Amino acid sequence: MKQNYDIVVIGGGMVGASLACALLPASQALGLSIAVIEAQPLPQGELTYQPSYDARATALAYGSRSLYESMGIWPQLSEHLTAIEQIHVSDRGHFGVTRLNAAQEKVPALGYVVENHWLGRVLLDRLKQDDAAAVDFICPAEVTAVEYAADQMAVEVNQAGESRQLHCQLVVMADGGRSELRERMGINYSRTTYEQHAIVANVSPDRAHQAVAYERFTDAGPMALLPLETQQGEYRCGLVWTLPNDQVDEVMALDDAAFLARLQDRFGYRAGNFIKVGERFSYPLQLVVAEEQVRQGLVVLGNAAHALHPIAGQGYNLALRGVTALAEKLIQARKSGTHLGDLALLQSFYEQQRSDQQRTIGFSDRTMKLFSNPSPLLALGRNAGLQLLDICPPARTLFARSAMGLDTPAPELK
Q: Mean pLDDT of successive 10-residue segments in the chain (414 residues)?
A: 94 96 92 95 82 90 88 94 89 66 85 94 93 94 91 94 95 87 89 89 96 85 90 93 94 98 94 96 90 96 87 81 95 97 97 87 63 52 50 47 48 58
Cα 205 versus chain centre, distance: 25
Percentages of the chain per state (helix, strand, coil), in multiples of 5: 40, 30, 30
Strand-pairing partners, residue 193, are 286
SS3 (DSSP) at 149? strand
The secondary structure of 256-281 as a DSSP string is HHHHHHHHHHHH-STT--EEEE---E
For residue 140, cis peptide bond before it (omega within 30 degrees of 0)? yes
Q: Which element (helix H / strand E) includes 393?
A: helix 393-403
pLDDT of residue 107: 85
The gap between the terminal CA atoms of the chain, to the nearest Å, is: 26
Q: What is the pLDDT of residue 365?
A: 64
Its pTM stands at: 0.89
Give the pairing of strands 237-244 and 221-227: antiparallel
- CB distance 365 to 287 below 8 Å: yes
Q: Return the pLDDT at 64.
A: 87
**Contact yes or no for 223/266 (Cβ under 8 A):** yes
